[in-house]
């Protein structure tokens, strides 16, 4: 009988499996510097088994050996673990709230630095750049767009996305408060949409690992959506501390509706700008 592709064989002792997973994560960290030790366990386990089956090995220990000796397998695992699903104007109501609640704040600054953390293949960054452009802010903004994964950043830099997604993105753009014809931002060629290079003129793409790296600037806005859901509580706390330290006084933290500041040690350091979209302002 074929095994479901994401589960351990039923004969595996759960304690032994947990030990093997811990050793694999330690090995990956020590060999490659990627720290997945504090990623939420259930989905991590599923993804490890999926990679194990794809590599044709039948235990986590064998997968560990494969990863240590074959860097290309590690590249694949990185893609598997870092769940890069994204889209333009994803959750359009977020962009509406950003236009209504954050843009007026940014208009009071001569220059704005924004950190888009966990930007994946860049759709969120282009959406943000378009929003800022339409609100008359892009010229005086610098966006730092980071991700743990170099290969998604390469896609982000290129700004070429599948043409067949444009219909859905146009709907999202309109629902997110878009002011023009969305097609003005890209050029269609065959099955691809090449986005205007002006949208990345003020963007710096760089690798940054939220689990290990330090703050690297002071920002007026930190945007991090659909990333911390994959982290366990201690790692979420680390990242919240990092964002707090990276924000200027009165800086804006935008988390999107899947994440929250509630029940974190830093909750009382922020005011709520938009409850539904989890947009906060650092007040102390």
Ligand X SMILES: C[S@@+](CC[C@H](N)C(=O)[O-])C[C@H]1O[C@@H](n2cnc3c(N)ncnc32)[C@H](O)[C@@H]1O
Query: Which CB, 151 or 196, lies closer to ligand X?
Result: 151
Q: How far is the CB of 16 from ligand X (least distance, A)?
A: 27
Element (H, E) at 158: helix 150-158
Cβ atoms of residues 58 and 52 within 8 Å:
yes
Query: Which CB, 122 or 177, lies closer to ligand X?
Result: 122
Which residues would be at the binding site for ligand X (CB under 6 A)? 82-86, 90, 118-120, 124, 147-149, 152, 209-211, 225-227
Query: Which CB, 152 or 261, lies closer to ligand X?
Result: 152
Query: Which CB, 8 or 255, lies closer to ligand X?
Result: 255
Partnered with residue 254 across adjacent β-strands are 223, 279
In order of 45, 236, 262, 270, the CA distances from 259 in angstroms are 22, 10, 9, 15
Residue whose tokens read 């703050």: 215
Q: How far is the CB of 121 from ligand X (least distance, A)?
A: 7
Q: How far is the CB of 43 from ligand X (least distance, A)?
A: 12
Q: How far is the CB of 133 from ligand X (least distance, A)?
A: 19
Q: How far is the CB of 160 from ligand X (least distance, A)?
A: 17
Cβ neighbors of 65 (< 8 A, separation 6 or more) are none
Torsion over CA of 126, 78, 278 and 241, rounded to 10 degrees? -110
d(Cα 115, Cα 101) in Å, to the nearest integer?
18
In order of 152, 170, 180, the CA distances from 134 in angstroms are 26, 15, 9
Q: How far is the CB of 11 from ligand X (least distance, A)?
A: 32
Cβ neighbors of 57 (< 8 A, separation 6 or more) are 63, 66
Query: Which CB, 82 or 220, lies closer to ligand X?
Result: 82
Query: Which CB, 82 or 200, lies closer to ligand X?
Result: 82
Which of 168, 147, 114 lies closest to 230, judged by CA? Answer: 147
d(Cα 122, Cα 139) in Å, to the nearest integer?
19
Q: How far is the CB of 118 from ligand X (least distance, A)?
A: 3
Query: Which CB, 118 or 176, lies closer to ligand X?
Result: 118
**DSSP character for 88?**
T
């Amino acid at each position: 009988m074929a095994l479901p592709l994401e589960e351990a064989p039923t004969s595996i002792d759960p304690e032994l499996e947990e030990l093997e997973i811990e050793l694999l994560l330690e090995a990956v960290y020590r060999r490659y510097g990627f720290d997945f030790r504090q990623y939420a366990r259930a989905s991590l386990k599923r993804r490890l088994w999926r990679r194990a089956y794809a590599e044709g090995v039948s235990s986590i220990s064998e997968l560990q050996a494969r990863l240590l000796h074959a860097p290309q397998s590690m590249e694949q695992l990185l893609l598997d673990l870092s769940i890069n699903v994204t889209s333009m104007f994803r959750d359009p109501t977020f962009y509406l709230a950003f236009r209504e609640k954050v843009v007026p704040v940014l208009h009071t600054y001569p220059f704005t630095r924004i950190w888009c953390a966990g930007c994946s293949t860049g759709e969120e960054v282009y959406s943000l750049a378009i929003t800022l452009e339409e609100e008359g802010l892009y010229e005086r903004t610098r966006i730092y767009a980071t991700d743990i994964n170099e290969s998604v950043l390469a896609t982000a830099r290129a700004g070429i996305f599948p043409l067949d997604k444009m219909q859905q993105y146009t709907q999202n753009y309109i629902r997110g408060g878009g002011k023009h014809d969305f097609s003005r931002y890209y050029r269609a060629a065959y099955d691809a949409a090449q986005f205007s290079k002006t949208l990345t003129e003020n963007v710096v793409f760089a690798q940054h690992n939220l689990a290990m790296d330090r703050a690297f600037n002071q920002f007026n806005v930190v945007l991090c959506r659909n990333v911390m859901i994959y982290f366990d509580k201690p790692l979420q706390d680390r990242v919240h501390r990092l964002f707090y330290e990276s924000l200027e006084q009165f800086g804006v933290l935008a988390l999107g509706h899947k994440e929250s500041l509630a029940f974190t040690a830093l909750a009382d350091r922020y005011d709520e700008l938009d409850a539904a979209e989890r947009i906060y302002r650092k007040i102390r």
